[in-house]
Amino acid sequence: MSKVDRRVLKSREAIKNAVLELMSEKTFDEITIQDIADRANVNRGTIYLHYTDKFDLLDKLIEEHIEEMRNIAAWACELDWIEATRIFFEYFESHYLFFSTMLASKGAPSFRSRFLEYLIGSFRSELHKEGTKDQRIDEDVMLRFIGTAYVGVVEWWITTGMPYSPAVMAEQVGLLLERHF
């Protein structure tokens, strides 16, 4: 695989940050490619070199974070629930602008549903590895319940300004997850 020019990486990063900043100020529908170009200090053509349109940009930005969470999960699944959860909350904290924008903004409802589906898939893998503690609970109901609760806790934590450290959140959420897996 060829090495990507640093200028290209810098432009892509500026574009991604620009769209996130703009989404924290106005709805996604109100944002234009020109707005993004102006904020990123690039030409409109530069955006079109990397993305088809603003929807493609948003989709790729979301997929980038979902993929990073998959990568984290690939090795974090060997850890106990608290330690694995700590790594995720540290990731959420270090990408605060992205998560606060995606979870607080009504302009990206697709992120919340993609985040939930990613979590359900991850929890399903863990469930199949470890088995259900309570056979009376339907697997799909349990996974939807746990996934929705997890998204809700992350959303609350981010939108309230992260009132607890990632370590505290990991301990609390990790203990809850241990009870179900």
Q: Are 27 and 68 part of one and the same domain?
A: no
CATH of the domain at 81: 1.10.357.10
120 with 143: CB under 8 angstroms?
A: yes
**Per-residue confidence (pLDDT) for residue 109, from 0 to 100:** 73
127 with 146: CB under 8 angstroms?
A: no
Q: Are 161 and 95 part of one and the same domain?
A: yes
- Output phi, psi for 86, to 5 deg: -60, -45
Q: Are 9 and 63 part of one and the same domain?
A: no
**Per-residue confidence (pLDDT) for residue 105, from 0 to 100:** 66
Q: Are 96 and 67 part of one and the same domain?
A: yes
Mean pLDDT of all residues in the chain?
90
Query: Would you mind telling me the total number of residues written for the chain in this entry?
Result: 181
The total number of structural domains in the chain stands at 2
CATH of the domain at 32: 1.10.10.60
Q: Are 46 and 72 part of one and the same domain?
A: no
- Output phi, psi for 154, to 5 deg: -65, -45
Instruction: Write out pLDDT tens, residues 130-180.
Output: 665 667 778 899 899 999 999 999 999 999 999 999 999 999 999 998 887
pLDDT, average across residues 71-76: 90
| Range of weakest confidence among 70-74, 105-109, 168-172 | 105-109
**Per-residue confidence (pLDDT) for residue 2, from 0 to 100:** 58
Q: Are 90 and 42 part of one and the same domain?
A: no
**Per-residue confidence (pLDDT) for residue 77, from 0 to 100:** 81
Q: Are 69 and 130 part of one and the same domain?
A: yes
115 with 162: CB under 8 angstroms?
A: no
Q: Are 28 and 64 part of one and the same domain?
A: no
34 with 44: CB under 8 angstroms?
A: yes
Instruction: Write out pLDDT tens, residues 22-48.
Output: 998 988 899 999 999 999 999 999 999
Is 60 exceeded by the pLDDT of residue 118?
A: yes
96 with 162: CB under 8 angstroms?
A: yes
Q: Are 160 and 122 part of one and the same domain?
A: yes
| pTM of the predicted structure, to 2 decimals | 0.88
The domain in which residue 41 lies consists of 1-51
What does each C-alpha distance from 105 to 144, 146, 147, 172 come to in angstroms? 22, 23, 20, 26
Q: Are 92 and 176 part of one and the same domain?
A: yes
**Per-residue confidence (pLDDT) for residue 114, from 0 to 100:** 93
- Positions of E strands within the chain: none
